[in-house]
Structure 1
Amino acid sequence: MRKQRDIIKQLTDRELNVQLIISQFSLVFLSIILSYILFDSFVDWLNYFKLSYYDIVYYGAASGLLIVIIDLVFMYIFPKKYYDDGGINQRIFRDRSVGGIFLLALLVAIAEELLFRGVIQTTFGYLVASIVFALIHFRYLKKPVLFVSILFVSFYIGYIFVLTENLLVTIMAHFIIDFTLGLVIRFQKRGANNE
C-alpha cells in the first residue's frame, strides 16, 4: 500500500483541493444522515448549536489560541523531524491564500466537529469520540510527538464539548487551531524563500 504522502505528491493542486472538499462535505453529509438515524429528532441534534458569545469566545477561541501557543512552543522545543507529517500539511497550506486557508479551516472544523462531537460523542461518549478523532489522523501514528499532540487536542476539544454542549464552541476552537497553524505554515514558507 502506498503511503499517503506519495499519493498526495502525485496529485495536482486542483486534484488535492477537490479531494479535500469532497472528503469534508462527505463528513458533513454523513453527520446529517447519522443524526437522523441516531437521534429521536433532528431538532434534538440542532439543540447543540447555541449562540452563546461568552462560551464561543471563552471556551472556543481562547482554548484554540491556548492550543496553538502550546503547539508553537513544542515546535520550537522539538526538532523539526518530530513535527514532520511527510509534508502533507505544507502541501495543503503553503501556496494557499489567507482567504483559502480561512475557508478550508472553517470547512474542516465544521465537518469534523459535526461528526466527532455532534454525532459520535453525543451517541457513544467522550472517550470513544476522542480516540476515534485521534486515530483518523493516522499519518501521525508513527510520529509520537504529533500523535500525542493530536490526542491531547482531541480530548481537550471533547472536554470543551462536555462542559458546554455547544458545537459552535468546538467548531470555533478547531477553526482557530487549523486556521492559525495553516497561516504559520504559509508564512514560514514565505519567510524561508526571502532568506
Structure 2
Amino acid sequence: MKKFDIRNIRVRKVNIDEIDDRMLLINLYATQAFTLIIGIIWILFQRQNSLHVLDIPNQWEFLAWGVGLAAAVIAVDLLISRWVPEEAADDGGVNDRIFRNRPIWHIALISFVVAVCEELLFRGAIQHAFGPYWTSIIFAAIHVRYLRHWIPTGLVFSISYGLGWIYIQSDTLWAPIVAHFVIDFIMGLIIRFRREP
C-alpha cells in the first residue's frame, strides 16, 4: 500500500470554471459543515447553551423582522443591479454556477443550510463576542469572492450588520436565519429563472 505524504499536497488558485458541479456542491456543503462545527464549538466555549440559541420563540414577530429585512435587501439589490454595470458586482460566477441549473427544492435546501450554519456562527457566536460591527467586517472578509469590488463588499457588510441588528431587536437567532434564507432563496430563484439578454 502506498504511503500518504503530506509534502505532495499542492495548493493553487482554481478558477470556478475548472470545478465541476459535483465538486462545487461538495465544497459548498463541506464549508457549511465546517462553519456549523466552528459555530457550535465557539458557542460552547462561551458557555452558551447551543440548543437554547436555536430555541424557536413563542411569538411570530421574528418572521416580520426576517422577512422585512429580506424584502429591503432584495429591493436594494434589484435597484443596484438595474443601474450598476455587471462587472462592478461580479462574484466570479460562483452564485450563477451554484443556482443556475438547480431545481427549486435544491435552491431552498442550499439557502436553508447556508442560513442556519452561517447565522449560528456569525450571529450566535461571533456577534456574542465582538458585536455586530466587527462581526460584519469578518462576515464581509470571508465572502472573498466579493472583495474585488467595493459595491458587493459594501452590500455584504450592510446585510450582515442588518442581520446583527434584527438579532438584537428580536432577541432570537431565527430572525436573521429567516432573513438570510429568504435573501438567498429569492436571489437563487432570480438567477435560476433569469433570461439571458
TM-score (norm 1): 0.89
Q: CA deviation at 1:27?
A: 0.9
> Which one has a bigger Cα radius of gyration?
2
Instruction: Look up the match of 1:16.
Output: 24
2:148 to 142, 159, 167: 142
Deviation, 1:54, is 3.1
Give the distance between the partners of 2:140 and 2:123, measured in 1 at CA: 13
Deviations 1:136-179 (CA, angstroms, capped at 9, x unpaired): 11221121111111111011111111212211110000001111
- Identify the structure with the greater helix proportion: 1
CA-to-partner distance for each residue in 1:28-50, whole Å, 9 max, x for gaps?
111111111112x426x614533
Identity of aligned residues (%): 34
CA distance in 2, matches of 1:185, 1:47: 32
Q: 1:179 to 1:53 in 2, by over 3 A?
A: farther
Partner residue in 2 for 1:25: 33
Residue segments in structure 2 that go unaligned for 5+ positions in a row = 1-10
Q: 1:67 aligns with which of 60, 63, 73?
A: 73
RMSD: 1.8
In the superposition, the TM-score normalised over structure 2's length comes to: 0.88
Length, aligned pairs only? 187
Q: Structure 1 unaligned runs (5+)? A: none
Is contact 1:48-1:165 (8 Å) kept?
no
The question of 1:172 aligning with 2:178 is answered: yes
Tell me which of 110, 124, 129 is aligned to 1:118. Answer: 124
CA gap 1:93/1:47 in 2 versus in 1, 3 angstroms: closer
Q: Does 1:58 align with 2:64?
A: yes
SS at match of 1:125: helix
Q: Is the 8 A contact 2:53 2:124 kept in 1?
A: no
1:87 is aligned to 93
Native 8 Å contact 2:53 2:173 kept in 1: no
